[in-house]
Chain A
Amino acid sequence: MTMAPQSTQDTSLSGIFFGIVKRDVRLAWSQGGTGTMALSFFLIAVTLFPFGVGPEPQILARIAPGVIWVVALLACLISLDRLYQADFEDGSLDDLALSPLGLTGVAAAKILAHWVSTVLPLVVISPVLGMLMNLPDGAYGTLLISLLVGTPALSLIGSMGAALTVSVRRGGVLLSLLVLPLYVPTLIFAVGAVDATAGLVDPTQPLALLGAASLLALVIGPFVSAQALRLSLE
């Protein structure tokens, strides 16, 4: 008689999933979390551009969508290398791998937590930076939509890079080398959408392409992250 593990019958996978999300969101905003870091980087880095490019409103307005999106992308990137590495270092990655949810589910939960805890604040604050950069009035709506539709791909693709470099000391630089080329489509479509609105052109086509890029990232992100994490467990 093997003592049946009583917990199997009533394991609630959704309970596990949202448990991980809550835990990671809380850790991201607690001591040593990456939430505040990404947000402050986003604010500071965008304000650097007027110093570099000059305060002329027309120039700023022209480059505003591109600058906001590139800096948001970099802010997301610098918060990614701790996504799995923190758990890997203190050994809780072993427990995550043992969860009945399966490593793919765990990866999806952690990606959602990263998006909510680190990327969403960037989206919320972006209109303020839009003002700083003299973004044309009509473009604020599309900027927000493009950030909401496009940034999930940043977390999903970034998660793959983070999982691949989890056992690499100082993996942050390597992570950006791996992930930035894969960010190109998202960046192009997103800025294309905001430029379209600024140029009074219908942005639905670029936004649709942006959504497609995010959906593809959703399909391969968690699965590939799980495979890469399994590597580090061996």
Chain B
Amino acid sequence: MVFERLSFTLDPGELLYLRGKNGSGKSTLLRLIAGYLRIHGGTLMVGDDAWWRGDAALSEALIYAGHDNALKPVLTLRENARELTRLMTGHAVGDVALADAADVFGLTGLLDQPVRYFSSGQRHRSNLMRFAYLKRPLWLMDEPTVGLDTENREALAGLMRAHLDAGGMIIAATHDPIGVEGAMIDMRDYQPKVSLEEAWL
């Protein structure tokens, strides 16, 4: 059991930061919302209908960016983006949308280079690019600012602000403020008192 009695509502246009030391459940909460984990108690609601794990409607409404960059080193950045868009929508990604997305993080020059030559910073930015070329209302970001220099942090902040203004929602598990104001939850307040495992003793 990682946390309990946690509940919040997020309205369109709002950003929620998840604070807390490592292992306090930030990533777990994000992965739970993304539908990877099984909920022991409580429900995940969108509007008034509940979402279940592996529920296609759930996955079509969110973009999740975790710690490792889901990129195939053999393929170029453009091909990776094309494959991800096809995976999520079944259609090809528009070249204009892709060019704009690459431009946001200054990756235009690298679009046609195989990812295996990228530095880890470039790979991380390539992973964040998905928020630019995929149109989904809910963004789930796990430590998005790791390894970003100030210029790219600004780019990310701008991207997030634009998304919020368009009525999108963001949940970001991060320690440092990106400069985009938003509500905040500290996982420490929801540490489990009696863990499920106690019942074993």
Most chain A beta-carbon contacts within 10 A, residue among B47, B56, B166? B56
Is A30 positioned at the interface, with any CB of B under 8 Å from its CB?
yes
Number of interface residues of B (CB under 8 A): 44
Q: Indicate if B184 sits at the interface (CB-CB under 8 A).
A: no
Q: List the B side residues contacting A15 at CB < 8 Å.
A: 86, 89-91
Taking a contact as CB atoms under 8 Å apart, the answer to whether A2 and B88 are in contact is no
- The binding surface of chain A is classed by DSSP as helix
User: Is B168 an interface residue when CB atoms closer than 8 A count as contact?
Assistant: yes
Q: Which of A99-107, A154-162, A169-177, A195-203 contacts B (4 or more CB under 8 A)?
A: A99-107
Residues of A within 8 A of B (CB): 1-8, 10-16, 19-20, 23, 27, 30-32, 90-92, 94-103, 230, 233-234
Chain A residues positioned under 8 Å from B62 (CB to CB): 98
Is B19 an interface position by the 8 A CB rule? no
Residue-wise interface mask of B (75-89) relative to A, using a CB-CB cutoff of 8 A (1 in contact, 0 not)? 100000001101111
In the complex, the 5 A-B pairs of residues with the closest C-beta atoms, listed nearest first:
A15-B90, A91-B68, A19-B86, A12-B90, A92-B70
Interface stretch among B35-43, B94-102, B104-112, B171-179? B35-43
- The interface residues of chain A lying within 8 Å CB-to-CB of B158 are none
- List which B95-144 residues lie within 8 A (CB) of chain A: 134-137
Contact A91 B70 (CB under 8 A): yes
Q: Which of A30, A32, A100, A230 has most chain B Cβ within 10 Å? A: A100
Interfacial chain A residues near B37, Cβ < 8 Å: 233-234
> Contact between A102 and B56 (Cβ–Cβ < 8 Å)?
yes
Q: Which residues of A contact B188 (CB under 8 A)?
A: none
Which residues of B are found within 8 Å of A32, using beta-carbon distances? 74
CB-based contact B46/A2 at 8 Å: yes
Q: Which chain A residues border B61 with CB–CB below 8 Å?
A: 5, 8
Number of A-B contacts (CB under 8 A): 119
Check if A3 sits within 8 Å of B88, measured CB to CB.
Answer: no
List of A residues within 8 angstroms of B91 by Cβ? 10, 12, 15
Is B147 interfacial (CB 8 A cutoff)?
no
Looking at the assembled complex, report how far the CB atom of B2 sits from the nearest CB atom of chain A, in whole angstroms: 12
Indicate if the CB atoms of B60 and A100 lie closer than 8 Å.
yes
Q: B56–A100 contact, CB under 8 A? A: yes
Docked Cα-Cα span, A137 to B179, in Å, equals: 76
Tell me how far the C-beta of B81 lies from the nearest C-beta in chain A, rounded to whole angstroms: 12
Q: Which residues of A contact B87 (CB under 8 A)?
A: 16, 19-20, 95-96, 99, 101
How many whole Å from A110's CB to the nearest CB in chain B?
12
B138 nearest CB across to chain A (Å): 9
B90 touches A3 (CB 8 A): no
Q: A3-B166, A3-B168, A233-B36 are in contact. Are A19 and B70 (CB under 8 A)?
A: no
Name 11 interchain pairs, CB-CB below 8 A, sorted by A: A2-B12, A2-B167, A5-B60, A7-B88, A27-B74, A90-B68, A90-B71, A90-B72, A97-B59, A98-B35, A98-B64
Give A15 to B86 CA distance when docked, in angstroms: 7
User: Which residues of chain B are within 8 angstroms of A1 by Cβ–Cβ distance?
Assistant: 12, 167
